[in-house]
Amino acid sequence: MAGRRLHIRDNLHGLAKPQVMRLAHRAGIRRMSGLVYNEVLGITRDHMERILRGALVHMLNRNGKTILLRDIKSSISEIDDRNITSNKGVSKKVKSCSGKRRSVKGKK
């Protein structure tokens, strides 16, 4: 891989106050404090970096040059798996295939 450089650029500068408000309105939030915007941008940036780093690892493992949708999906599923296993003992209500609710503790 000589000569190949991988750059992760900070492209979240395009996510500004109107876009954050649009996302908040879709979530059902009507008003937000001015300090919330920077917090949302920071959280979004951190989450996107984790997803892209994982996707980059998947891409490099398959010796690819382009990040594919399956790399992103794998990265997101790994992040979700880590979040579920880090919350051991915390029960969640999960809807089963039969439509009945059951209590589930972290994945094994």
| Residue of higher predicted confidence among 37 and 12 | 37
Are 54 and 67 in contact by the 8 Å Cβ rule? The answer is no
Instruction: Say what the pLDDT of residue 20 is.
Output: 87
Say how far apart CA 30 and CA 25 lie, in whole Å. 6
Domain at 13-86, CATH homologous superfamily: Histone, subunit A (1.10.20.10)
In angstroms, the CA 46 to CA 75 distance is 14
Could you state, in order of their start, the residue ranges of all structural domains in the chain? Answer: 13-86
Q: What is the pLDDT, as a whole number, of residue 81?
A: 80
Q: What is the pTM of this model?
A: 0.60
Q: What is the per-residue pLDDT across 65-106, written as a single tens digit (0 to 9) for each?
A: 999 999 999 999 998 887 666 655 555 554 545 555 555 555
